[in-house]
Chain A
Amino acid sequence: MASLRDIKNKITSTKKMSQITKAMEMVAASNFSRAEGNAKAFVPYMEKIQEVTASVALGSSDASHPMLVKRPVKKTAYLVITAERGLAGAFNSNVLRAALQAIQKRHQSNDEFVIIALGKVGREFFRKRDMNIALDLTSIANQPTFNEVKDTVNKTIGMFADGAFDELYMYYNHFVSAIQNDVVEKKLLPLTDIATSKKPMSYEFEPSAEEILEVLLPQYAESLIFGALLDSKAGEHAARMNAMRSATDNAKELIDSYSLLFNRARQAAITQEITEIVGGATALE
């Protein structure tokens, strides 16, 4: 049996660890409620821009734009949104697995696709596998603002426009509830399914439908990516909160069983001491 001091050390270190996981849980909880708020604040913008885009793109069938047109696919891009670090349960591995499986199924060689990684975990994952990372953004804040991600998102859309790739898929965790995230695969570019629930309005275009699409479509695609990022952030904080809560619970259980062991060992030591004393006394008689 392990010595008394060994067990005591284990108990202390487990206790300290549980303090850390407890603190991380609380940090994640506060981040989570703010991230949820951010995602909600974004909804009006998204709805509005979706509505207008649908009206313009569907309402004026004569207006076309390169971002709406399907072209022969020579290169595919995968935009994968992960967290900045682990300690969030299966959050990162779920989305990375989904993306990797899709890539392996569709492509034979690494030249057929590029990766756009939002989040450090994803970047390291694909870099380790020697895949082409066309663009990456790391050190994303816990509560990202549009200004922060604008450059990367702009460049992504620009690369499609320049023909660096011909279609763009997006992989991210969709936040369902505090205990559930679903991995979503979404074809982002070319924009083929612009759906809207409301009836499209017929607008006057100033100066022309084409010129409006020129401004509107990149903005729409950017907001889709930003929306996915906010969604994924809310999910990330929720996942981290849950992971840390169960870590704290597990630590408590461990401490309980170590305490039992410790008490047993201490009792055994006492019993042994008494037996020795009694044995010594008997020997003297």
Chain B
Amino acid sequence: MKTIKVSVVTPDGPVYESDVEMVSTKALSGELGILPGHIPMVAPLQIGAVRLITGGNTKYIAVSGGLLEVRPDQVSILAEAAEVADSIDVDRALKAKERAEQRLHAQKQENIDYKRAELALQRALNRISVAGK
């Protein structure tokens, strides 16, 4: 089966690199599956999980604040933060979730801090759900 090279890079260094058969992500406009030979494309990503599928195995990577760049032979994911499922610190994510929830309760809507807390909550939930897979 044909494969495509995937690299996930963050400002703190490359996180993951390998050859896979399919990349499945959640772009701003919806679910997106990429197979080898895809036309060049750029799309912003939602906070969510990236699934890398090779021979029936699926690997999960939690990504926040990212961008997807596709070339026929290569997929690059540029994210502000990314973690492979088994390296996620679940305790930290749980704490972050609690903090974000508290802040959401304390503040009124339409506030900038409110939006930030909401984003933080999303990131934490994403990490927790990816780590559980």
What is the interface of chain A, defined by CB distance below 8 A to chain B?
A: 38, 41-42, 44-45, 48-49, 52, 55-56, 145-147, 150, 201-207, 211-212, 214-216, 219, 223, 226
A-B contact pairs, 22 of them (CB 8 A): A38-B12, A41-B13, A41-B14, A45-B9, A45-B13, A45-B14, A49-B67, A52-B42, A146-B11, A146-B12, A147-B81, A150-B80, A201-B40, A203-B41, A204-B41, A206-B32, A211-B44, A215-B44, A216-B44, A216-B67, A219-B67, A219-B78
Q: How far is the CA of A212 from the CA of B44 in the complex (A)?
A: 6
What is the interface of chain B, defined by CB distance below 8 A to chain A?
A: 7, 9-14, 27-29, 32, 39-44, 65, 67, 69, 71, 76, 78, 80-81
Most chain B beta-carbon contacts within 10 A, residue among A206, A214, A223: A206
A219/B12 contact (C-beta < 8 A), A52-B78, A204-B40, A212-B42 known = no
Q: How far is the CA of A48 from the CA of B74 in the complex (A)?
A: 12
Report B-chain residues with C-beta under 8 Å of the C-beta of A216: 42, 44, 67
Q: How far is the CA of A114 from the CA of B52 in the complex (A)?
A: 46
Q: How far is the CA of A214 from the CA of B40 in the complex (A)?
A: 19
In the complex, what's the smallest C-beta–C-beta distance from B76 to chain A, in angstroms?
5
Select from chain B the residue with minimum beta-carbon distance to A226: B11
Select from chain B the residue with minimum beta-carbon distance to A230: B11
Q: How far is the CA of A146 from the CA of B65 in the complex (A)?
A: 12
Report A-chain residues with C-beta under 8 Å of the C-beta of B13: 38, 41-42, 44-45
Report B-chain residues with C-beta under 8 Å of the C-beta of A55: 42
Report A-chain residues with C-beta under 8 Å of the C-beta of B7: 44
Classify the interface of chain A: helix, strand, loop or mixed.
Answer: helix
A207/B41 contact (C-beta < 8 A), A42-B11, A49-B78 known = no
**Across chains A and B, which 9 residue pairs bring their CB atoms closest together, nearest first?**
A41-B13, A146-B11, A206-B43, A215-B44, A204-B41, A45-B9, A207-B29, A203-B42, A203-B40
Q: How far is the CA of A38 from the CA of B27 in the complex (A)?
A: 29
Q: How far is the CA of A99 from the CA of B63 in the complex (A)?
A: 37
Q: How far is the CA of A253 from the CA of B10 in the complex (A)?
A: 47
Report B-chain residues with C-beta under 8 Å of the C-beta of A42: 11-13
In the complex, what's the smallest C-beta–C-beta distance from B75 to chain A, in angstroms?
11
A202 touches B11 (CB 8 A): no
Report B-chain residues with C-beta under 8 Å of the C-beta of A211: 28, 44
Report B-chain residues with C-beta under 8 Å of the C-beta of A150: 80
Select from chain B the residue with minimum beta-carbon distance to A214: B44
B27 touches A206 (CB 8 A): yes
A41 touches B67 (CB 8 A): no
Select from chain B the residue with minimum beta-carbon distance to A208: B29
Report A-chain residues with C-beta under 8 Å of the C-beta of B42: 52, 55-56, 203-206, 212, 216
Report B-chain residues with C-beta under 8 Å of the C-beta of A203: 40-42, 69
Report A-chain residues with C-beta under 8 Å of the C-beta of B71: 201
Q: How far is the CA of A245 from the CA of B14 in the complex (A)?
A: 34
Q: How far is the CA of A55 from the CA of B43 in the complex (A)?
A: 13
